[in-house]
Amino acid sequence: MSIPSPILNLTSLPLVRGTSFLVGSLGIFMGVRAILYPVSYAAQFGFHPSTECTKSAASNPFIVVSAGRVIASGVTFIACAYLKADRALSVLLISSVVTGAIDGYAVRKFAGHMDETKTGEQLVVEEEKTAHARGRAIGHVLTTGTFAALGVWTLLKGSS
């Protein structure tokens, strides 16, 4: 049995636990928000109120199903941080890159499918919202990539 590195104990674990608590809290918040405000939740991802996707968001059970998974994931992050399950937290952080990649893909592919009847200033506003959502999607991918790098770094530090 190997003795854990003091570097791991003093630097990476509080960072991993703190990051995981933050990710978990955000997941719970976003899941609850998706249940309570599905149209707003869909619009946050760039699916404008004028699109069929967002128009049906209030009655779309998939948003609630998705929200349940996000809440469960958030609870898992917080529970592992509380229990000091550091290797599990590292794996969770690494796996978060899948979420970021899929969110980024979905927003790039589907966000901004606007109502063709909009013209002039309304169309400009819709295009700006789409560009903003796509920018956030890139940020989301980069953020989850950073979380994954932190998870990999922690695993490597723990095994040395």
Residue 121: its H or E element:
helix 120-158
> Residues with Cβ < 8 Å from 17, sequence gap 6 or more?
81, 84, 86, 89
Query: What's residue 144's pLDDT?
Result: 87
Dump pLDDT digits (tens) for 27-43.
999 999 988 888 788 77
Average pLDDT of the residues of the chain: 78
| 101-125 tens-digit pLDDT | 888 888 777 766 555 556 667 666 6
Q: Does the pTM exceed 0.75?
A: no
Q: Cβ of 12: how many Cβ atoms within 10 Å? A: 21
Residues 6+ apart with CB under 8 A from 105: none
* pLDDT confidence bin for 155, thresholds 50/70/90: confident
> Is residue 142's pLDDT more than 60?
yes
Q: 73 vs 105, which has greater pLDDT?
A: 73
